[in-house]
Structure formats: C-alpha cells, structure tokens
Amino acid sequence: MRTLSFYIILLFLTSLLFESCDNTKYLPQGESLYVGSRVNIKNRGSTSRKESKKLAAELNSLVRPRPNTTILGMRVKLTAYNFANLFPKFLRKSLREKIGEPPVLASSLNLEKNRKILQSHLENRGFFKDSVSADTTSRKRRLTAVFTADPGPRYKIDSVAFPTDSSVVGKHIAAHLKGTLLKKGDFYNLATIRDERLRIDAALKNEGFFYFSPDYLIVNVDSTIGDHRVNLYMTVKPYTPIEATQVYNIHDIIVYADYEINDDTITVKADTVTKAGFYIVDPQKRFRPIIFDRTLIFKPGDIYRRDDHNLSLSRLTTLGVYKFVKVRFEPTDTVLGNSLNAKYFLTRLPTMSARAEVSGLTRTDNSTGTDISVSWKNRNLLRGAELFTLSASVGAERQVSGQYNVATYRAGFDANLYVPRIIAPFNLNTNGGFVPKTRFNIGYQLFNRNTEYTLNSFHGLAGYVWKQSMETELQLNLININYVNPLHVTDSFKARMDTNIVLRRTIERQFILGSSYNYNYNSQALQNTRTNNFYFNGNIDLSGNLYGLLTGANYKKGKINYLFGAPVSQYTRLEGDGRYYRHLGGDKANQLATRLILGSAWAYGNSSQVPFTKEFFAGGTNDLRGFRARSVGPGTYRDPNEANKAGLRFIPEQPGDIKIEMNAEWRMKLYSIFNGALFIDAGNVWTHKEDPARPGSAFNKNFLRQMAIDAGVGVRFDLNFLVLRVDVALPVYDPRGGTYDFKKFSIGNLVWNLAIGYPF
C-alpha cells in the first residue's frame, strides 16, 4: 500500500513539474498539441449577453476532437501516458491504457468541417445568416481553434399551416393542429420541428395508421416574408406509400402461449378460441386461455392503436412468466380490406426454480453467526400465471461483550401467492401497462435468546399490488395479521424487565389485526436526464379499529379485549418519506439529494401504547449516521446505562410515537467506480405524552432544539449491479447533552457505517 501511494504521489508531482513544457516534448516532429477551441459571438444587440454566452458554450461543445482531459488545469492523464516509462513495468501498461491518455494532435483537427457544423447548427436554431469563420492560434507547440460567429437576428415563427386537403390522413393531421409544438412568436428551431413530426406520427399511430412514419411529413419554410419571420407549412410528402395513408383494423389475434424459437408456427394450428375471440396455440395446455382475455388490450375488430400495442406487450411482460415477448403484425388478404393479423410469440421462463444461500454475519454489537435459507418458486402454480414462493431459513449467532454472552437462534418460513388479477367484489382502475396482482401471505418465525426469552410470531395478509405507471406503485392490504407471543422468559431477564420498560416492550404479547395502504412514486424508476427528480412514499397503517368499535373497547375504563390470549392492538400510524434529487451537471453521479421523513402513531381504544414494532426509531446507517442504530431519543432522554462501566448492557432500542428526520447529501464522481459524498443528518423521535420512565421524551414546542445533528463524508463503490458504501460521521449536536461540545470532536468519536446501497 505504501509503495502504491508513493507512485501516486510521484505521478502528481511529475504533473506539476512537467505540465508547462514536457507534454509537448514527446510529440512527433512538426506536430502541435491540440488544447481546445474557443467560440466568439459578435453581439450586435439582437441577443442578450447571457444568451450569447450560452450559445457560445453550445457551439463549443460541438467542436471535435475533444482536447486531452484536464484536472485542476493539469493534463494528468496525458502526463501519465508520456511518463509511464519512469514507473516499474507492472505499472506501465495500466498507466498508459487505463489511466493515461494519448496526446490529441493538432493534425486531427478539421477546421473547415467544424466550421460547417457550427454554421449548420446556427441555421437549425433560426440564425439564417452565413456567419461563422475559423482560425487557429499557436504558442509553444500548443494549438487552439478559434471560431467567430456573427449570427445576426434570429428568425421567429409567424404562422403554421397544416394540410387542408380532403384525404383521410390529411384530415387526421389537421385535427391535431391545436396541440402543435410550433407556436407563433417562438424562435425557429429544427429540433422542435422534428419533435412535431414525432408527435403527429404518434397521434396517427393511435388512430389506425399502422404504416405511417414521421419521414413522410415535411415542413416547408418560407423566410421571404420579411421582418426576420418565417411561415411553416406542414404537408405529407407526395410519394408517400398508399398503405401509410390508410387506417387498419385488427382481424385475427393468435397467441403462441408456449413458443420456442425452433417451433414451426406455420404448421401449428390454434387449439383454443377464447371468449374474446383470441386463437391460442398451447398444445401442452400450460396456460389457461382466460389469462389472455384479461391481459391483452387488443380485441378482434378494433382499430390498431400504438398505445394498445405497447400496453399489451407491457402487461404480458409484467405477468412474470415470460422471458421473451414479441408481436408481429401481418396484412391480411385484400378481400378483407385494410386489416392486420396480430401474432404474439411468448417464450416462457422455467416454471419452477430453487435457491439456497449460506451467509456469515458480524454485527456492530459484537455478535457473529450464520444464516441458511432455501427458497422455491413456481411461476405458474394454477396455470393462470400465479407466482408462488416458499422460503425457509434457520440462523444462529453469539454475542460476546465483557461478561455478556448470549446465543440467538432463529427459524421460520414464509409463503406468498401472487394472482395476476384483482380478486374483489369491487373494481379498481388497473387498465394500465401493468398487470395488477392479488397477494396472499402467511409466515411463522421462532426467535430464541438462550439466556433471556423465546418468542414465536405468526403473520399473514391479503391485499393488492398494482402500478399506475412505471413510476407509481400502490399497495392495499385489506387484512394484515401479526401475532407475537413469548413462550418462555428467564428469571434473570424478568428481573431486568422490572427496571427497564424498553426491555419489557420488546417481548410484549400483541395481536395486530388491521389494514394498510401504501403509495410510492419514484420519477427515477425510468432513466431520464431531468435536472430535478422526486420520490415519495406514503403509508397509512390501521389496526383494531373495526374490532374496537364493535366491542366497545376502552383501556381507560379497563375494558380491554383479547384474541388468542393477546390484547388486540388499536392504533393509527401515518408516515411520509419525501426526497428531492437535483442533478448538478456533468456526470450523473454529481447530484444533491435531500430527504424529509415525517411520521406519527396514536394508540387508543383497546391500546394504551402503539406496538413496539410499529413505533419509530432514530439512528443508524440509513438514518442519523453519526449515532448508534436506534439509540437517539426520545426527545432529550438518555439511557443511564449508556455510559455505565459496571457491566450493565446499554439497550439502544428507544422507540417514539413521532419522528422527524432531515438529510442532505452532496454526491460526486471521484474516479472510475469511486464516488464520494458530503452529508448532514438531523432528526429525533418523541412520545406524544411524557413517559415517566424516560424523562424528556415528550414532543413540545422546542422540538427543533432537540434534533440530533451529525455530519460526515462517504465513499461509494458503484459496481452498477451493486453499490458498497462506507460513511464516516461525527455527532455535531446530541440533544441528550443539549450543547455543542466541540471538545468531543475527535477521531475516537467517529462512527463508521458499512452498508449496501445508497442511504436514500
């Protein structure tokens, strides 16, 4: 490591020493180093200074070739390439090919070609004057290209005319004049004209013009009307094929439900006709035909619409049973008129698969152990594209800390069934490009801490999962059941429970019977180049409300109802997680990411407290990174055992009924797969009312002064398929002390966080 560091420092010092002259020393005889271009705009008052500066940068970005990369004004990569021979053999190739960069020679610059490109770009933007000249400057074997543009006034659109003929396609195009992108008074821009052609083509594709193309549209420009204005005339090219101007209907729909590449689709005939009139080819009867009635948007006799085409493909893909989905539209006999046969070729995924995992783990609380899990998946359980998953796991770990020695054992199973439709007496609007699913879940877990307690828990739910778009997903769980029951508690743990309410609540008997709704929006689910992106996740969790209403439960009056020996939890829990991502230019990794979390939970009726698992916590690798996991709060409360040196164990699980958290992180590209970050976190949890066992826990008007604050830096290793994250944070303000203690700002107080993925 020291040797590698030495060479990195040597490379940097070499760059400083030789940047001024020696990068040109190794150039071929008679050559100069191309160091970039400069664009000057002659501004005669027709454009503002800001617009001229923006136009110059725009033109400069079009010049080719690109000069050698600079870092802080130094051509470090070029220096690495030129001076690779100064380094040992094992580094030379890497320096030249991976880190280094060969010189960009002045002879590779085609000045006239670049001048024409810039001139063409100006004309495409509405600057019709031939106004670009080119020259070069050279000093000490370094050449710079200099382009001077005198663009003159920019032309504006005066009027836009659409086809007025009586043809079918002409009438359809004219009907879309109202939504045109070409607006009177806007500057002429060829890119906008291209977008307008695509807009009209998309509209025509949705109206049955299957064979139409944007290339069949032309916009004629009349720039002779004066006053730097133009008239635009949208027309259909005279030699457009006749089939592109006609509306097509869907005739037959044939689905090859179990298609293999080597299948002879000509000789295989459909063996089933569905109620909707689809022809299904499935000799092995692997799929029930009703799947396609529900999934395909097209029906025989419908007008061809591109949106229905794409929706059908999307819904077939999201069924989760097909590896490849493609469709081919073929014209029918002319006797049938303008009609198409749609043939869907569906190649299925393996129906069943199994997986086993063995992992080792080490936690920050000095516990070490292992997990073994096995899972089985069936993608077509009842021949209706139902997904069934069954998983089972066992695990063990041991925690040793001072006199504290405890072993933990876990075992459990989880089963899920996803049915690709809404099973309900009511209708949900799910006609988008994603197949809605009804979900059923059941599971069990046994949790044993050998010196403390044994818990068993059951859970189950029935609900729906559906997507309105790629960015938006909704979940509605009509029934959500969770039953936790302690089987055995040791006497020593009981004694500790008497003095620590948090320990008592970690194993409390509970029965949750309720419903929940979750809304998720993520604008980054679709890759985009927008400057601003947003994420929001909202959750409503209800339990025991109908049961409490029917039974008249009221804990204040001593009327508490039980099921299976456990009190039925009655509460309302709300949580919102909003995030804003702003792209800062350059690499996509360079962005500002912020997050705000607000949450609150109330217990009433049959419950005096919200269940421990449903409360809020603060602190941890994805939360307040300068504090131990779940250790912050509530409010200004500090666990007296935290600083105890007598062997007592600090219990970091500090729950609250209210949570406020704010995070801000500047993410930046460092080098290759290495990204960096600077961040600050603030937040806390509180109780609605003062907890006598935890003084200072209640939410009050001084809540902003009770926000824990930390700051830190991070390094992320982005491997595309996996992001490894190391964050180092320092507590800036701890509400449990109530002051900014700068004396505690030391290396020993740093909190290290190792995690997978970004924190938000």
Average pLDDT over residues 657-681: 92
How buried is residue 70: exposed, middle or buried, by Cβ count under 10 Å (0-12/13-18/19+)? middle
Report percent pLDDT > 70 for the chain. Answer: 89
> What residues are paired with 402 via a beta bridge?
none
> What residues are paired with 687 via a beta bridge?
698
Helix (H) or strand (E) holding 239: none
Residue 400 — pLDDT band, cuts 50, 70, 90? low
What was the pLDDT predicted at 558?
81
Closest CA to 296 of 267, 324, 276, 282: 276
**Residue 542 clears pLDDT 70, i.e. is over it:** yes
What was the pLDDT predicted at 649?
46
**Residue 20 clears pLDDT 50, i.e. is over it:** no
Domain boundaries, the chain: 2-149, 156-245, 249-348, 464-756
How far apart are the C-alpha atoms of 572 and 544, rounded to whole Å?
Answer: 9
What was the pLDDT predicted at 538?
97
What was the pLDDT predicted at 645?
42
- Which of these ranges, 196-200, 591-595, 741-745, has the smallest mean pLDDT? 741-745
- Which of these ranges, 22-36, 90-104, 305-319, 512-526, has the smallest mean pLDDT? 90-104
How far apart are the C-alpha atoms of 588 and 675, rounded to whole Å?
Answer: 11
Q: Where are the alpha helices (DSSP H) in 175-242?
A: 190-205
What was the pLDDT predicted at 405?
67
How far apart are the C-alpha atoms of 458 and 487, rounded to whole Å?
Answer: 13
pLDDT for 229-259, tens place per residue?
999 999 999 999 999 999 999 999 999 999 9
Higher pLDDT, 551 or 222: 222
How far apart are the C-alpha atoms of 615 and 685, rounded to whole Å?
Answer: 9
What was the pLDDT predicted at 399?
66
How buried is residue 472: exposed, middle or buried, by Cβ count under 10 Å (0-12/13-18/19+)? middle
Q: Which residues contact 426 (CB under 8 A, 6 or more apart)?
A: none
CA dihedral for 22, 25, 30, 36, sign (positive or negative) = negative
How far apart are the C-alpha atoms of 370 and 347, rounded to whole Å?
Answer: 39
Higher pLDDT, 299 or 18: 299
> What residues are paired with 266 via a beta bridge?
none
The pTM of the full predicted model, rounded to 2 decimals, is: 0.77
> What residues are paired with 147 via a beta bridge?
39, 134
Closest CA to 293 of 281, 306, 309, 279: 279
Average pLDDT over residues 715-741: 82
What was the pLDDT predicted at 21?
46
- Is it true that 249-348 and 464-756 share their CATH fold? no
Average pLDDT over residues 555-568: 84
DSSP line for 471-511: SEEEEEEEEEEEEEEEEEE-HHHHHHHTT-HHHHHHT--EE
Omega cis (within 30) before 759: no
What was the pLDDT predicted at 413?
95
What was the pLDDT predicted at 126?
92
pLDDT for 433-449, tens place per residue?
788 999 999 999 998 88
| Cβ 545 vs Cβ 565: under 8 Å | no
Domain at 156-245, CATH homologous superfamily: membrane protein fhac (3.10.20.310)
| Cβ 428 vs Cβ 422: under 8 Å | yes
Average pLDDT over residues 162-190: 92
CA dihedral for 496, 502, 503, 505, sign (positive or negative) = positive
DSSP structure class, residue 96 = I
For domain 464-756, which architecture applies? Beta Barrel (2.40)
User: In 3-state terms, the chain is what percent helix, strand and coil (to 5)?
Assistant: 20, 40, 40
Count CB atoms within 10 A of the CB of residue 100.
20
DSSP structure class, residue 97 = I
What was the pLDDT predicted at 44?
64
Amino acid letter, 746: S
Average pLDDT over residues 279-298: 91
Q: Please state, rounded to an integer, the average pLDDT across all residues of the chain.
A: 86
**Residue 414 clears pLDDT 50, i.e. is over it:** yes
Q: Retrieve residue 537's tokens.
A: 């996740």
**Residue 752 clears pLDDT 50, i.e. is over it:** yes
| Cβ 373 vs Cβ 354: under 8 Å | no
Q: Retrieve residue 162's tokens.
A: 């659409």
What was the pLDDT predicted at 722?
80
How far apart are the C-alpha atoms of 576 and 659, rounded to whole Å?
Answer: 10
pLDDT for 608-636, tens place per residue?
889 888 999 998 889 999 888 888 889 99
Q: Tokens 């027709």 — which residue?
A: 46
pLDDT for 470-518, tens place per residue?
899 999 999 999 998 888 888 888 777 777 777 777 788 888 999 999 9
**Residue 646 clears pLDDT 50, i.e. is over it:** no
Average pLDDT over residues 517-538: 92
What was the pLDDT predicted at 265?
56
Our measurement of the distance from residue 217's CA atom to the centroid of its chain's CA atoms, rounded to an integer in Å, reads: 37
How far apart are the C-alpha atoms of 218 and 240, rounded to whole Å?
Answer: 11
What was the pLDDT predicted at 260?
86
**Residue 73 clears pLDDT 80, i.e. is over it:** no
Average pLDDT over residues 524-544: 91
Higher pLDDT, 276 or 457: 457
CA dihedral 417, 422, 424, 430 (to 10 degrees): 150
**Residue 115 clears pLDDT 90, i.e. is over it:** yes
pLDDT for 364-381, tens place per residue?
555 677 889 999 999 999
Fold for the domain defined by 249-348: Ubiquitin-like (UB roll) (3.10.20)
Backbone angles phi, psi at 169, to 5 degrees: -70, -35
**Residue 637 clears pLDDT 90, i.e. is over it:** no
**Residue 40 clears pLDDT 50, i.e. is over it:** yes
What was the pLDDT predicted at 633?
83
